[in-house]
Structures are given as structure tokens and as C-alpha cells.
Structure 1
Amino acid sequence: MRKLVALLIAAFAIVGLSGCDKKIDKESQKIVLITDKGDITDRSFNQGSYEGVKAFGV
């Protein structure tokens, strides 16, 4: 039982520390929005997704 707990703690520590990385500038990030046959003013999923991307600021 102790080995299992130690293994779980080590796994969580590795996963947690792997998320620590240097900051990435916004210019290097890109988001692609793919819509279906509707457009971005369809007052539905496409428009909501488009507004979410705009609100994210990319």
C-alpha cells in the first residue's frame, strides 16, 4: 500500500511539474476556427465559437 501511495505521489508531482514551462508570447500562438455550412453570424454554435475566439484575444 505504501508503494502505491508513493507511486501516485510521484506521478502527480511529475505531471504537475511538467506543466511548468516558460511563458509563450501571443504572437507565436494561433487559433483556427472551423465552421460548418453556416457562417459566423448564424446566432448559434458558429457565432458563439467565433465570439469566444475574439474574447480570448488572439
Structure 2
Amino acid sequence: MINTEILYKFKHAGLASTQLGVRHLPRKGGQATGAKPTVILRALRELSFSAWKWYRCKL
């Protein structure tokens, strides 16, 4: 969510952004959870709440 917030704020402040490549390291333990429906729904809920807060602050 941090990337989404930063891009949103940059755009509304009239700033530009650039993408840089990063090196990903192999996972040392645990399992990926990003494809689980509950994780996706929670991210969408947080995004909606953040968008609502930003919209409300602009009024």
C-alpha cells in the first residue's frame, strides 16, 4: 500500500516518479500469501478507506 499512497500523493502534488529495478532475494522461510482472497480483499478495503480519507481531506 505504501507504493500506492506515494504515487497517489505524487500525482496530486504535480510531481513525477521514476521506476527503478530491484534485486529480489529468495525466500528463506514461510509461504507467500499475496494470492489468497482474504489478503486481496483486505488490501482493497484499505485502498478504498485511504482513497475516502484523501477525498474527504480535499473538500
Whether TM exceeds 0.5 here: the answer is no
> Which structure is higher in RCO with an 8 Å CA cutoff and minimum separation 6?
2
TM-score under structure 1 length normalisation: 0.30
TM-score, normalised to structure 2, is 0.29
Rg larger in structure: 1
